Structure 1
């Protein structure tokens, strides 16, 4: 994963033919100021410069920059698709993260993403957690949250992977 622009040299040196993976990802949580905080244009430039050449050269699958839940994720992807249709066409799957307290909101959000963009989804971070401080999950609630999302993802052909965080 090419997490941020600052990590590009380490990434370029690590990714070689047969490096043990068939996927390219990055950058991380582009819609959050505390993470990659990247405009759609800047992210498209990074993918064109660093990831798409590797996809073309080695046949790796390209997973989009990740976004964290909320309307800003949809706004970011809408802009990305309009800004860089050439890059959008090369993306094999969309990478999303979701943190919240209601598993049904997560599954509805994923359905919305898939319906809106028509690409497979990678849910590479999810947890029963609120960053707003409004509510907290008990261990049993967190387990139920995880099981609900896992069952949902495993029932959808377009949900290629899901990874609990924490």
Structure 2
């Protein structure tokens, strides 16, 4: 097997910020908790578990000694869905609103129903700062509305409500796209953002999850329109692999242990201004039978190409794309079928370099010149 090397070096400049993050949090539920987790997660400043009070967590904690979760690491309650006379932990500074209200399998609220429920929440808050419901994209037709469509209705129905921040979730693997979405929410609704769930959805390669995290943390820390963010999640058991949208590759803690994963080490120790280096990545050359012929291999024309990569490109071209993002999206959707180094290439190089590679693959296999795909739609 042959290899070629490409190097990717990414860094952020220090802007007089040397203290630990004031934004960084995580989702950590009792169902996945192990004794000592919060000692291990020392770089986290806040957390939540989808409940409106920490008492459930404390009352069901089987550890012989319990960390004072509420003061050492700031606990933030959530009122998960609309309720009459909701209870909120009284000593809280913040409270998170309804969870993914535009998703049928989550809070499942129209904007009108959410506005009615919000007035109940507002009355119970008694001065606690309120973070909006976390409307989020769901990637299918089953959602009540799109993220912004739902928020438009909610803010219209709740024009006189107290809503201090806006929240959303995202599982996109494109850090720049995520930041664009967050900035758009801030610009549209004039409220700083809590990103209360995020990870790289469906990715099974821990190496690619780490690359995504290295790309997005500096952006989240630098953005003045992002108030707080929360990784999903503290621990993801191996039993979830293959059944959950977020795989154990996103786990900050060992799925079946008590130590931090490599991902967790980066998440808990990264400080804004640290140099982030992706290092040298070797892409294995794979010559699958019937896809890449021996002549091409001998000529090194298809260096680093894999069968899944070729199929992803061909499938979307067969769908007659007119914009580049469709090609790149098809490739990203098959990262789990490729060596992680190939996914790393597409995640880290400038999109113009990815385009050069895609054009070369088309020319080699199908003798097609891709000049008709619109360059100005590469996004």
Cα RMSD after superposing both structures? 1.9
- Structure 2 residue ranges without an equivalent (≥5): 1-77, 139-144, 234-379
**Distance in 1, Cα, partners of 2:216 & 2:136:** 16
Q: Work out whether residues 69 and 99 of structure 1, in 8 Å CA contact, stay in contact via their aligned partners in 2.
A: no
- The match for 1:124 among 165, 183, 196 is 196
**Distance in 1, Cα, partners of 2:178 & 2:112:** 27
Shift of 1:148: 2.2
- The match for 2:160 among 86, 91, 95 is 86
Question: Paired residue for 1:160?
Answer: 227
TM-score by length of 2: 0.37
**Distance in 2, Cα, partners of 1:99 & 1:157:** 21
**Distance in 2, Cα, partners of 1:147 & 1:119:** 26
Shift of 1:126: 0.3
Structure 2 vs 1, CA of residues 16 and 111 (structure 1 numbering), >3 Å: closer, same or farther?
Answer: closer
Question: Paired residue for 1:138?
Answer: 205
- Where 1:116 maps in the other structure, the secondary structure is helix
Shift of 1:16: 4.5
How many residue pairs are counted as aligned between the two chains? 150
- Pick the structure with more strand per residue: 1
| CA displacement 1:122-152 (0-9 Å, x = unmatched) | 001001004xxxxx35212211212222211
Q: How does 1:4-15 map to 2 (within 5 A)?
A: 4-5=81-82, 11-12=86-87, 15=88
Question: Paired residue for 1:54?
Answer: 124
Structure 2 vs 1, CA of residues 83 and 145 (structure 1 numbering), >3 Å: closer, same or farther?
Answer: same
Structure showing greater radius of gyration is 2
- Pick the structure with more helix per residue: 1
- Of residues 113-122 and 147-156 in structure 1, the stretch that sits farther from structure 2 once superposed is 147-156
Runs of 4+ with deviation above 6 angstroms: none
